[in-house]
Amino acid sequence: MSPMGRLRMLIDSLSHPRVTEKYPYEPIPIPEDFRGKPEIDPEKCIGCAACARVCPPNAITFRDDHEQGYRVLQVFLGRCIFCGRCQDSCPVGAIKLTKEFELVSLSKDDLYQVVKLELAKCVRCGKYTVPYRYIKYLMEKGPKILKYELLLCPECKSEVMTLIKYHYAQEVHE
Amino acid sequence: MQDIKRVIEENNGKIVVEHDYFLLVEVSREHVRKLARTLFEAGAYYSTGVGSDERPRNGFFAMYHILNHEESKKYIVLKVEAPEHDLRIPSITPEIEGANWAEREAHDVLGIVFEGHPEPERLILPDDWPEGVYPLRKDFKYNEKVKPVRKEEKFIEREDALVLPLGPFHPTLHEPEYFEIYVDGETIAGARYKGFFIHRGLEKLAEGRLTIHQIPFVAERICGICGYTHMICYCQAVENAIELEVPERAEYIRTLLLEIERIHSHILWFGVVYHLLGFDTGFMHAWRIREKVMDIAEMLTGNRKTYGMSLVGGVRRDIDEDKKEKTLKALREVSQEMKKLFNDVLAMKEILNRIEDVGILPKDRARSIGVVGPVARGSGINTDVRKDHPYAAYKYLDFKVPVYNGCDVLSRYLVRADEIFESIYLIEQVLDQMPGGDIMVERFEVPEFSVGVGATEAPRGEDVHFVITHRGSKVYRWRPRAPTYNNLPSVPVMLEGEHLADAPAIIGSIDPCFSCTDHVTIVDDSTGKILFRGPLEDAIRRLKR
Amino acid sequence: MNAIIAVIVNVIFALLYAPLIDGVERKIKARVQRRKGPPIQQTWYDILKLFKKEEIMPKDATKSIFVSAPFMAFLSVLIAYLFVPTILPGALYFYGDIIVVIYLLAFSSIVLFLGAFSSGNPYAQVGANREMSLAVMEEILLAFIVGSLAVLNRSLMLNRMFPLEIKVSSIILLAFYLVVMYIASARVPFDIAEAEPEIAEGPFIEYSGKYLAMCKYTIFLKRILLTSLFLNFVLPENVLWRTIGYVIGVVIIPVILAMIEAHMGRMRIDQAVRFMKRLSVIGIFAWVISLFGW
Amino acid sequence: MIPENYIVTIPIVLFIVASLAIVLKKETSVKVSSIISAIGSSTLILVSFIGFMHDIDVKYVIWDANGSSILSSLCTVHIHIDKLSSIFVGLTGIITLLASVYAIKYIEKHKSGYYRLLSFSYPLTVLTMYLLFVSWDLLWLLIFWELLTLFSQFIVVFKGDKEAISGAYQYFTITKACADVLVIALVTLIIIVTGLKTSYDDVSLALWAYFSGNKAIGYLLAILALVGFGAKAGLAPFHTWLPKAHPAAPTHISAILSGLIVKTGVYALMRTFLVFFPTDATIGLIVASFGVLTIIVGNMRALAQDDSKRLLAYSTIGQIGYILLPMGAGIYLMGIGQTLLGGFALVASLYHTINHAFFKSLLFLTSGSILYATGSRDLNIIGGLSKQMPYTAFAALIGALSIAGVPPLNGFVSKWMIYSSLLPSATVISLFGIIALAMSAVTAAYIMKFFTAAFLKPPKVKLDVNEVPGLMSATQIIAAAFCILLGVYPNFIVKVCSDALISLGYPISYESFKILPGVVLPNTAAFMPILVLMAVFLLAPLLGLAVGVDRIDNTWTTGYPRPTSAMTSFGYYKDLREGFSEYYSISKELLAFARRLSSAILRMSSSYEDVSYDLNTMLYGAAVFLVIGIFVILWGVIS
């Protein structure tokens, strides 16, 4: 039971300050690139749902209300693993991980962030399709395709495309 | 290299895929035993086994035995197939002890019958899982529910000993696991292990719902301490399957983070071991020092533990000069403080007495069980995936593999102590030599039914992931095998004849990570409801009442 | 009459002080681990909290023994305070009282052993076994101390031994007593019976609420009793100086012991038994010296 | 008022009548003989009471032989009850009364055995014991000594299985063939020394005179006496028969064997060393050393036992050490002039003799109850009986705590007196005191092993048992009550013991203990045992019950709901015993040596036995001899 190591340890400890943080009473330093609570900017969000598709734990989900004409994009922090894939995939930078990490809440409702976006109507059949903003974004940044195509619902689109192809083929034939 | 191929071919094995990293060998049911035996005698040890339901493809069930042949720097994957109507495959457990668990697991989840298995009991499925329902078969939906079956458990009573149930909620075990220890006085007369209480069903989840890019984040959550190594391991398995070259800078960053993870994991282990030996001050000091490493990780990745840094094809964040500086500075402090701590603690006689010549695992036994990592290296086996199957940037770096011949807890202790300093040395090299360039390959094709094996040296030992790819950026079969899976069967061997007071230190000496080991079972997680009413839930119920 | 007042004051002092000094020890331990640690009243809070909690009994337990054991242990240590002065000099002295003190301490171990076994828990059985093994070894060491003291003073009365004459033998005896005191107060490395990571508090595993509070309280009281005994051996007879010395000593000694405790690992029971067996050689040595009257 | 002459003979008659129950059938015979013996035992208490008040002196002259004095000794049965004798007679009365009452129910459980042998020899054993205590003549002492060995041997053999026969055989051969040879030698020597006068008065007078002249022969005599009588008491190197014989007998007999028959050795030793020999320091030291050895051997061995009765038998050996040590120490201290401490030690010795009789017979009775209820003595198998057998458990707890020396039970008082007298003596005796104090922790350890293993730890197999019949538990409770009473109110016994010693001529006065500040007597000391009793034994359970329990739940087996398991009895204190492995290995060597020695003696004695008698002829011969002898005595009284 040699005392030397212990004595050294004791003196070393006593000659250094305590390391206990005063955390709840004082803020704690957070590094620059910290991945905290994801926050979605409802102004910027175009409702493309790319984030919902990459989200590994299904924390981001979307639901289309075809009656009322809304797309509801919902971020549920209870499932979030703070991986930041949504941030990577967002084309407009609407969703970002903040430095906030104090997410304790007494109510589950506080953990939801909801973005409600109006859906555009199919110009042909009148069914709701995708959010207006998405169409707008695609009009501006998207590939140079037939712009009016964007205003159609998928069924109409395929019908129209078939029609177009048919007419085109006939034209060629003729 | 030529040798091992000759050996395989002489024993009726057909090499199907020859990859830098692994050989995929098809072998018929009659010859698998002999081939496995021959390979074991040639120096390969049993790494893991994977069962797979390949009926949609060809109507067969397949069993992949993965053996690690360090000499030729290759994994040898033996594929044995059995048709649906005749699910019998000869067991290789009589030849290689280490195949025991893997084969039992394959039986549990797929219903493959291993003929001649010495203890064909249920391993990973809970006791109340109905017979004849095999969760990993493709016709079993990932969100299907099963009705639990009540079963009377037969308890072993021993005349000559006190039966001490250790776990699932015991202060020694930081995760739920059950050891039944038979003590005579305080001498352990025998031990029985019963595990797999933590069922998360990650495999089924990954196969059923996730895409190839989502799985890394799930893989990272296999373990609460060494998650990143699972992430890398999965990525490497996929990269090997689809023959993808990762940019060199990404390899370096991966290496850096893997080593940081090793350091914090080892320091954590030291803390735990000091606590188990009653030396709480050492525990506090170790964890205080560890906090610096955690801070580095947080600074580099944005999170203390779940780095979330990798995807198939590279890494997600770059590292700048400022971060390099800070990392080096912090690591120098860690290195100094740890040196001091180790010196002071090893001067403490009573701690040394508690770990020296305790928990003996002889070398030959270690090899046949197939233990990995510091446990193997503490028993005098020179094995390290970083050297044997170089991955990431390890092929460019210089480092030593500490090996001790004591076969006791002290040897494992010393191996880990040395590894901390080796890791710091490695990180210094990485930061020094890191090349520039891209960190990610964005676009690649995923072929169908391509087999890949990935392995990393996790802090606890060799971590192996086995992947079969699927169309639509999905995986057909993903089987992660954590190091503790191979190390745990050695615990009863170590415990026998020891003192009860040493049991925590011995169980701790393999640095067990139970949830890593257990994740493989199936549960429907999507509804958030637990399907199983095992003993664990009974206990919880009683508490609530 | 004075003695009775002194005894009452002493017992009350011990009751109040014992958990408090444990709080101080926790604070000290936290400091040497470079932590802040809980406030020094924490042990008191813990005990009070335990008093508010529900009491659970395992269904295999023998109720009468299970419920009375903690109180028996507590009261037996408390009774020992009748014979050992703490802050005020004065106690019930009589011939052979030191034997009674030792037997009362042993009795508290015995009843905790009984209580542990009455719970039927396998961990309690292992822990109780360790507790008893340690108690036997402690008693062997204490026997040497008591025997040598008796030889030295030609008496078995505690007040004849307060304070001890300064001799070679008495100094050796006091040093020896300090070691035994450390062992008997169940500190690391000798907290083998309770060893939390190994056998989950051993004998106390099934106790809860007030019973657990009593068990813990017993240990705290035992520590202060042993410390007071030591201080009585060394402090002068003058009341003022004695009181001052006592107040200083009863703080300083636990603090030092806590610092030692913080830098120790736990022994295995067989190692502890062997260690104490080796210590008993010093006991024989001390006895021989005191026989010569040095 | 019946004259004293007749009072002394009443028990004799009653016991002989009891022995006639041999003519009845099986169990009935035992019951009848037990009942009559019980009555006889109660008369013994009366005799002892009268004897304590004033010495009884009765001479039965069988025929008047004026020739050589040795013949005249044989022709006269000199019964003299002094205070020392009456203490032992009183003990015999109480303990045998309890045992007899206990036997009435207990014997029902025995399926087989030599019932008639038991019903015949049991009363005769008690009778010879009684006569041994009261006879005032060395030759008659020797005769009764032999008869006692003979009859008690028969009751050991009762069960008739291998264990019983070998136990009885060992018992008989070692105590008789080995030790009795020494006793005969001793008596012969004494007769030569004293000039063929064998009355106690003559012996002591002559020996005192002789001793001062011939110290060497005196010491030889002392050692011979110690070994000879000590072998029957279970003195350390000659104890090997005891743990074999005592457990083999039916339990109420074990209680008598351990509680009383070993006390005949103690009595003889006391008689020899306190009366016959002068108080010489060297003799005291010899006795005390053997006492310490006996303590160590008995206690350490008891720690390692798995069999409940065997454990108690070893415990008997240890406790005999606790009786012999203060006896030797007392003689030693008297010899060197520390009369105060010496007298205290002697009183302690006598006190412990009484205590031991009570708690050991109590413990044996409870172990018998366990045997009765479960059919097992194996501490590995039984367990958790406290729920099914609460009264037995309570009695056993009291017995266990008093043997462990817990204040304020009786064991504490005598042990406290032992340490108080030994430790401050500033001689080598204080080292013995230290060892005794240290070993008392071992006593606590093994007796707690007995108690917890039998009553508290979960059983290995589910036991379906009931409390023993009322008669049996009543005897246990009475014995337990004695244990409490003797501890709470010790001054009576201290008075009795000191009176007895005073009557032997020791310079002790009961008052002199008051010079010692605060002997454990309520009127002189601050330490009031009654206070501790109230506080610990009443307040604690009351507090515990007042607190109560809110909820009863499964045993916490760290979350895995499996039935609780029990420690093996071998597992108890395994590490402690391993810590003392040196001791055990040495004692193993010694034991092997002793076994070789005893087997040599056995071979010799067995050939001697074979030639002289087989069991039946021995029995009839002895019976005829005894009956004739008794008639002769009675005839002498009448004439």
User: Minimal CA–CA distance to B190: which of B163, B170, B172, B154?
Assistant: B163
Query: Is a pLDDT exceeding 50 seen at residue B523?
Result: no
D contact test, residue of B153, B157, B507 with most D CBs within 10 A: B157
- What stretch(es) of chain B map to CATH 1.10.645.10? 202-518
| pLDDT score for B93 | 87
Q: Can you tell me the distance from the alpha carbon of B442 to that of B446, in angstroms, rounded to the nearest whole number?
A: 12
The better pLDDT of the pair D138, C143 is held by C143
Per-residue pLDDT band at D534 (split at 50, 70, 90) = low
N-term to C-term CA, chain C: 37
For residue A75, give the CATH number of its domain: 3.30.70.20
Which candidate from B306, B316, B347 shows the least CB-CB separation from A81?
A: B306
Q: Looking at beta carbons, which residues of chain A come within 8 Å of B306?
A: 81-83
Q: Confirm whether pTM is higher than 0.95.
A: no
Note the Cα D533 to chain centre separation in Å. Answer: 27
pLDDT in tens, D435-447: 888 888 889 888 8
> Which CATH code is given to the segment(s) B2-115?
3.30.460.80
Question: Which residues make Cβ contacts (< 8 Å) with residue D463, sequence separation at least 6?
Answer: D374, D382, D383, D384, D385, D388
Q: What is the mean pLDDT of residues A128-146?
A: 76
Burial class of residue A147, CB neighbours in 10 A (0-12, 13-18, 19+): exposed
Residues in Cβ contact with A106 at an 8 Å cutoff, skipping those fewer than 6 apart = none
Q: Is residue D632 predicted with pLDDT exceeding 70? A: no
Please tell me the least confidently modeled range out of B48-57, C73-82, D375-384, D517-526.
D517-526
* D434 has a pLDDT exceeding 60: yes
Tell me if A25 is assigned to some domain. no
What are chain A's partners, defined as 3 or more CB pairs within 8 angstroms? B, C
Please tell me which chains touch C, using 3 or more CB pairs under 8 Å as the contact test: A, B, D
- pLDDT-based confidence at C60, cuts 50/70/90? confident
D68 CB within 8 Å of a chain B CB:
no
Mutate to test the interface with B, among C27, C33, C204, C268 (most CBs of B within 10 A): C268
Cβ count within 10 A of residue D594: 15
**What would the pLDDT profile of C176-217 be if each residue is shown by its tens digit?**
899 889 988 888 888 877 777 777 777 888 888 888 998 889
Give C37 to chain A, closest Cα distance, Å. Answer: 9
Give pLDDT tens digits for B314-353.
888 888 888 888 899 999 999 988 988 888 888 888 888 8
Q: Which two structure tokens, joined as six digits, stand for D295? A: 């303590």
Distances in Å between the Cα of D422 and the Cα atoms of D12, D228, D487 are 41, 26, 20
Count of the separate structural domains present in chain A: 1
**pLDDT value for C221:** 92
User: pLDDT tens, A73-131?
Assistant: 888 888 888 888 888 888 888 888 888 888 888 888 888 888 888 888 877 777 787 88
Chain-chain contact of B164 with D565 (C-beta, under 8 angstroms): yes
Residue B444's contacts (CB-CB under 8 Å, 6 or more residues apart) are: B242, B244, B312, B313
d(CA C236, CA B204): 77
Cβ within 8 Å of B, D 548-577:
553-554, 557-563, 565-568, 570-575
Name the residue with tokens 């019998």: B88
Quote the tokens at residue B347. 């001067």
pLDDT at B544 over 60: no
Question: Quick one: average pLDDT of D589-603?
Answer: 74
Q: Which of D44-48, D108-112, D151-155, D574-578 has the lowest mean pLDDT?
A: D108-112
Determine the residue of chain A that is closest to B341 in CA distance. Answer: A9
Interface contact flag, B165 D553, Cβ < 8 Å: no
CB proximity B343 to A under 8 Å: yes
**The predicted structure's pLDDT at residue D136:** 83
Residue D624, number of CB atoms within 10 A of its CB: 10
Q: Mind listing the pLDDT tens digit for each residue in B427-443? A: 988 888 888 888 888 88
**Percent over 90 (pLDDT), chain C:** 7
On whether any CB of chain C is under 8 Å from the CB of A10, the answer is yes
- Which tens digits make up the pLDDT trace of B457-495? 888 888 888 888 888 788 888 888 888 888 888 888 888
According to the model, what pLDDT value does residue B513 have?
72
Q: Residue B512: which of B539, B484, B482 has the closest Cα?
A: B484
Q: Is residue D597 pLDDT above 60, yes or no?
A: yes
- What is residue D607's predicted lDDT score, i.e. its pLDDT? 61
The pLDDT value recorded for residue D177 is: 59
Interchain touch D–B (≥3 Cβ pairs closer than 8 Å):
yes
D96 vs C201 pLDDT, higher one? D96
- Rounded Cα–Cα distance for residues D465 and B365 (Å): 49
- The tokens describing D428, both together, are 């080598």
| Residue C59 sits at the chain D interface (C-beta within 8 Å) | yes
pLDDT of residue D160: 73
Give me the pLDDT at residue C45, please.
92
How far apart, in Å, are the Cα atoms of D421 and each of C156, D126, D286?
A: 9, 34, 18
Q: CA of A29 to nearest chain B CA: how many angstroms apart?
A: 10
What CATH number labels B202-518?
1.10.645.10
- Measured CA to CA, the distance from residue C117 to residue D453 in angstroms comes to 9
Q: Does residue B531 carry a pLDDT above 50?
A: no
Range B30-36 contact pairs with CB under 8 angstroms and sequence separation of 24 or more: B30/B90, B32/B65, B32/B78, B32/B80, B32/B89, B32/B90, B32/B92, B33/B90, B33/B91, B33/B92, B33/B94, B33/B95, B35/B8, B35/B11, B35/B78, B36/B65, B36/B67, B36/B78, B36/B92, B36/B95, B36/B96, B36/B99
- Chains in contact with B, where contact means 3 or more Cβ–Cβ distances below 8 Å, are A, C, D
Report cis status (omega within 30 of 0) of the bond before B168: yes
For chain A, the farthest-separated pair of C-alpha atoms sits apart, in whole angstroms, at 104
CA angle D175, D624, D191 (to 5 degrees): 50
The mean pLDDT of D333-355, rounded to a whole number, is 84
- With an 8 Å Cβ cutoff, is C218 touching chain D? no
**What pLDDT score does C24 carry?**
92
Average pLDDT, chain D: 77
- Per-residue pLDDT at B239 exceeds 80: yes
Strand partners, B88: B113
Nearest to residue B138, comparing CAs of B236, B62, B26? B62
The pLDDT of residue D147 is 81
pLDDT tens per residue across span B413-422: 999 999 999 9
* A19–chain C Cβ distance below 8 A for any pair: yes
pLDDT of C30 above 80: yes
Residue extents of the structural domains in chain C = 2-292
pLDDT of residue B385: 87
Provide mean pLDDT across the span D134-153. 80
What was the pLDDT predicted at D539?
79
Task: Flag whether pLDDT at B216 surpasses 80.
Answer: yes
Percent residues over pLDDT 70 in chain B: 93
Identity of the residue in B165, B281, B503 whose CB atom sits nearest the CB atom of C32: B281
What residues contact residue D555 under an 8 Å CB cut-off, 6+ apart?
C58, C59, C60, C61, C119, C120, C121, C206, D564
The CA distance from C254 to C187, in Å, is 11
Q: What are phi and psi of B153, to 5 degrees?
A: -85, 135
Give CA angle at C234 (C228, C236), nearest 5°. 105
Structure tokens at B224: 């609460």
Which residues, numbered 532 to 561 in chain D, qualify as contacts with chain C under a Cβ-Cβ cut-off of 8 Å?
Answer: 532, 535-537, 539-541, 543-545, 547-558
Query: What is the SS3 string spanning B405-469?
Result: CCCCHHHHHHHHHHHHHHHHHHHHHHHHHCCCCCCECCCCCCCCCCEEEEEEEECCEEEEEEEEE
- Residue D276 has a pLDDT of 80
ipTM: 0.81
